[in-house]
Amino acid sequence: MSKALEGIKIIDFTHVQAGPACTQLLAWFGADVIKVERPGSGDVTRSQLRDIPDADALYFIMLNSNKRSITLNTKTPEGKEVLEKLIRESDVMVENFGPGALDRMGFTWEHIMELNPKMILASVKGFSEGHHYEDLKVYENVAQCAGGAASTSGWWDGPPTVSGAALGDSNTGMHLAIGILTALRARDKDGKGQKVAVSMQDSVLNLCRVKLRDQQRLDRIGYLEEYPQYPHGEFSDVVPRGGNAGGGGQPGWVLKCKGWETDPNAYIYFTIQGHAWAPICDAIGKPEWKNDPDYMTAEARQPHIKEIFATIEAWLGDKTKYEAVNILRKFDIPCSPVLSMKEIAADASLRESGTIVEVEHKQRGKYLTVGSPIKFSDMDVEVTGSPLLGEHTDEILTELGYDNEKIASMHKAGAV
**378 among known catalytic residues:** no
Of 169, 219, 378, 394, the active-site residue reads 169
Query: Nearest residue by C-beta to ligand COA?
Result: 98
Alpha carbon distance 112, 114 (integer Å): 5
Residue 331 burial by CB count (10 A; 0-12/13-18/19+): exposed, middle or buried?
middle
- Please list, in sequence order, all residues whose beta carbon lies within 8 angstroms of the beta carbon of residue 150, skipping any fewer than 6 positions away: 141, 144, 160, 161, 162
Under the phi-then-psi rule, with left for phi > 0, alpha for psi from -120 to 50, and beta for the rest, what region is 365? left
Alpha carbon distance 208, 105 (integer Å): 35
Report DSSP state, residue 299.
H
**Which residues is 123 bridged to in the sheet?**
95, 197
Does 72 interact with ligand COA (rule: CB under 6 A)? yes
* Comparison of 203 and 273: residue with beta carbon closer to ligand COA: 203
* Comparison of 40 and 160: residue with beta carbon closer to ligand COA: 40
Does 67 interact with ligand COA (rule: CB under 6 A)? no
Does 98 interact with ligand COA (rule: CB under 6 A)? yes
The minimum distance between CB 185 and ligand COA, in angstroms, equals 24
Does 5 interact with ligand COA (rule: CB under 6 A)? no
Residues 364-403 that bind ligand COA (CB under 6 A): none
* Comparison of 138 and 312: residue with beta carbon closer to ligand COA: 138
Does 33 interact with ligand COA (rule: CB under 6 A)? no
Contact flags string 163-192 toward ligand COA, x per CB under 6 A: ------x-----------------------
Taking alpha carbons only, the member of 268, 243, 267 closest to residue 329 is 268
* Comparison of 147 and 246: residue with beta carbon closer to ligand COA: 147
5, 10, 16, 120: residue in contact with ligand COA (rule CB under 6 A): 16
Question: What 3-state DSSP class applies to 38?
Answer: coil
How close are the terminal C-alpha atoms of the chain, in Å?
A: 34
Question: What 3-state DSSP class applies to 365?
Answer: strand
The minimum distance between CB 98 and ligand COA, in angstroms, equals 3
Number of residues that bind ligand COA (CB under 6 A): 23
Which pairing describes strands 335-337 and 365-370: parallel, antiparallel, or unpaired? unpaired
What is the strand order of the sheet 267-271 is part of?
A: 252-256, 267-271, 335-337
Does 26 interact with ligand COA (rule: CB under 6 A)? no
Does 213 interact with ligand COA (rule: CB under 6 A)? no
Does 147 interact with ligand COA (rule: CB under 6 A)? no
Does 40 interact with ligand COA (rule: CB under 6 A)? no
10, 18, 26, 276: residue in contact with ligand COA (rule CB under 6 A): 18
Does 122 interact with ligand COA (rule: CB under 6 A)? no
Core vs surface per residue 39-61: b (16+ CB within 10 A) or e: beebbebbbeeeeeeebbbbbbb
Q: Catalog residues that contact ligand COA under the rule CB under 6 A.
A: 16-19, 36, 38, 72-75, 96-98, 101, 104-105, 124-126, 137-139, 169
- Active-site residues, by number, are 169
